[in-house]
């Protein structure tokens, strides 16, 4: 490859990089605008649920759900490592 061909290839890559960075900047600006938009208010004054978001209730924690589970990474009481 001649020097001119290499310079042309580099220029094309740089042009592509500039276009890609421009698209990323526009996408980021749109995401920031969406994040600052107020959440829609649903019934009872709570924010409306968003797809993929799970609402956590204020109910007391039920410890019986975890009575027979192991403490992850800590092992089980009464057992020893091999």
Pick the closest to residue 10 from 21, 1, 22, 26 (CA basis): 1
How far is it, in rounded angstroms, from Cα 32 to Cα 29?
5
How far is it, in rounded angstroms, from Cα 52 to Cα 36?
19
Convert the pLDDT of each residue in 25-45 to its tens digit. Answer: 999 998 888 877 666 665 555
Tokens for 68, please give them: 């027979």
Average the pLDDT over 39-67 and give the result: 70
Q: Please count the residues of the chain.
A: 82
Q: Is the CB of residue 17 less than 8 Å from the CB of residue 10? A: no
Convert the pLDDT of each residue in 63-72 to its tens digit. Answer: 787 776 665 5
Upper half-sphere CA count for residue 73 (Cβ side, 13 Å)? 0
């Amino acid at each position: 490859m001649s020097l001119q061909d290499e310079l042309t290839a580099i220029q094309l890559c740089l042009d592509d990089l500039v276009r890609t960075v421009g698209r990323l900047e526009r996408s980021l600006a749109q995401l920031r605008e969406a994040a600052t938009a107020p959440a829609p208010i649903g019934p009872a004054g709570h924010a409306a649920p968003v797809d993929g978001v799970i609402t956590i209730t204020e109910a007391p924690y039920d410890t019986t759900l975890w009575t027979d589970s192991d403490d992850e990474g800590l092992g089980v009481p009464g057992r020893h490592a091999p």
